[in-house]
Structure 1
Amino acid sequence: MDLDQIRYQFEQTLDDRRLSRSEKRALSRVLDGVALTPHNLSVLRRLAFEVAATGFNDVPARETLGWLEDVIKLLVPSPEDSIADVESHFSPGDDCPTRIASLFQTAKRTVDVCVFTITDNRIASAIADAHRRGILVRIITDDDKSFDAGSDVERLASIGIEVRRDRSPYHMHHKFAIFDQQTLLTGSYNWTRGAAEYNEENFILSGDLRLIKPFQATFDQLWQQFAATN
């Protein structure tokens, strides 16, 4: 965690005592890759307060406090922004693509996707829209499936989303995604029209950190592992 870089970004955004949309995106990029462990969050909050303290000397205190509130919200989204309870979804029947798309529509910082294949254009469009909003989207997928007819993976890669493939004789068969490091989606459900309309599939959503942390660790390990093969 590069605290000097983060301090510099805090100081730049404090300059006008407001955290604009573009500044939030820039700050999110700096924070991307920082594991939001309790220790790191404590360090970042302390740093934000230290930077804010310098602003009390020359401007009304409430303006600096407004900036500080925005930074803290960015570091620690409020509980209502995450899924506290577990949701279960089944196909065919439930509108699974719409629920998955809604998660991309409400993402604030990052989405890590680790799925066997993506051929459902409704989900692919939501992924592309999130990327265009400045959300950092990373995709891990299976090499054998990413070039199949109907696959949306190459189209998503072509607009600047970083995609990594396993490049092995075996399958990268996971089907999970992590939204803002706060919401986990996982289950048998493939992100395909066949899964939505015909297959007996399922996925769950959970905000339980006991589940999210090992899935995030697995994603990060595969992301590094597949870097050498892409």
Structure 2
Amino acid sequence: MFRQVSFKELMKMFGVGAVALVLGVEWLDWLTRRLGFRRDSRLKEVLFFPSPQTCVEHLFTPDRSFPCACPLPHGTETSFSRLLGHLLSACVSLDLCLFSFSHVELSRVVLHLHNRGVTVRVVTDRDYMAIIGSQIGTLRRAGICVRHEMSTAVHMHHKFALVDGRKLITGSLNWTLTAVQSNKENVMVTEEPELVRPYQKEFQKLWEANDPANHKPQTKKQAAK
């Protein structure tokens, strides 16, 4: 025969169980930190440049049935290949806010995503979009929507990308060949929401502020003042 448990005894048992659960969770947290395991699995990565030149064809066609014939080293992961991989992970959207964009391989990534159906938006600098070698014209001709800083008094000097609205790529790196292969640069990649959200707001603010529909062209009289 089972003895009937009183309400007081039941509450006491519940209290002991709750304490044991809390202690167990705290012990597990201590153990995972002690052993070096991370409870937070969100992406946090830092890339440093310059990056050595390697073949990146496998990132565009991973199911290649024949070896690439280019003379660059193959099968080596670099900061640049990691950057390309993060960009190519976009499934829905890619928002770019870039001061200078002349790197052909990075342009190829953006065009590849656009052709794959990913929605691409670009905000760039008014002056640097027109320099020799800029890839902005190439993106526009492909049908990608690009807006530039309307003000002539300031430069749009940001360098960041948002992948699917959840992954942030930012740092000192301009999207140029010199920056990738010659300069000391840094790039941070994160999915930490507290860091991603402010960049989402900044991009949207710039996107709306530089909408050509909101800026009437100056008359000759206005330009002369």
Q: Which TM-score bucket, shorter chain as reference?
A: 0.5 to 0.7
| 1:26 corresponds to | none
Aligned residues: 148
2:80 and 2:176 map into 1 onto residues whose CA distance is 9
Aligned to 1:87: 45
Quote the residue 1:111 is aligned against: 94
User: Whose Rg is larger?
Assistant: 2
3-state SS of 2:194 partner: helix
Aligned counterparts of 2:125 and 2:215: Cα–Cα separation in 1: 12
Q: How many angstroms apart in 1 are the aligned matches of 2:122 and 2:215?
A: 14
Q: Does the 8 Å contact 2:50/2:180 carry over to 1? A: yes
Equivalent residue, structure 1, for 2:171: 187
Post-superposition Cα deviations, 1:31-71, rounded to whole Å, max 9, x if no partner, equal xxxxxxxxxxxxxxxxxxxxxxxxxxxxxxxxxxxxxxxxx
**How far apart, in 1, do the equivalents of 2:90 and 2:190 lie?**
15
Q: Which residue of 1 aligns with 2:195?
A: 211
Q: Which stretches in structure 1 are left out of the alignment for 5+ residues?
A: 1-82
Corresponding position: 1:124 with 2:82 = no
AA aligned opposite 1:139: V
In the other structure, the counterpart of 1:138 is 121
- The residue type paired with residue 207 of structure 2 is W
Q: Secondary structure of 2:106's partner?
A: helix
Q: Report what 1:164 is aligned to.
A: 147
Assess if the C-alpha contact under 8 Å between 1:97 and 1:123 holds in 2: no
The aligned residue for residue 101 of structure 1 is 84
Instruction: Summarize the alignment of residues 32-47 of structure 1 with structure 2, pairs less than 5 Å apart.
Output: none
Mapped to 2, the partners of 1:162 and 1:144 lie a distance apart of: 18
Q: Which amino acid aligns with 1:166?
A: E
Question: In structure 1, what residue type is equivalent to 2:51?
Answer: G
TM-aligned CA deviation for residue 167 of structure 1: 2.5
SS of the counterpart of 2:84? helix
* Alpha-carbon contact 2:46-2:186 (below 8 Å) kept: yes
Q: SS in structure 2 opposite 1:143? A: coil
Alpha-carbon distance in 2 for matches of 1:109, 1:177: 14
* Distance change in 2, residues 1:96/1:145 (3 Å): farther
Divergent runs of 4+, >4 A: none
Letter in 2 for 1:168: S
CA distance in 2, matches of 1:93, 1:120: 13
Contact preservation (8 Å) 2:51, 2:80: no
CA distance in 1, matches of 2:79, 2:174: 10
Q: Deviations over 1:199-225 (max 9, x none)?
A: 111110000000111100000000000
AA matched with 2:86:
L
Comparing both structures, which one devotes a greater share of its residues to helix?
A: 1
Could you tell me the TM-score, scaled by structure 1's length?
A: 0.61
Find 2:186's aligned residue among 179, 188, 202. 202
- Percent sequence identity is 33
C-alpha contact (below 8 Å) 1:140/1:165 kept by paired residues: yes
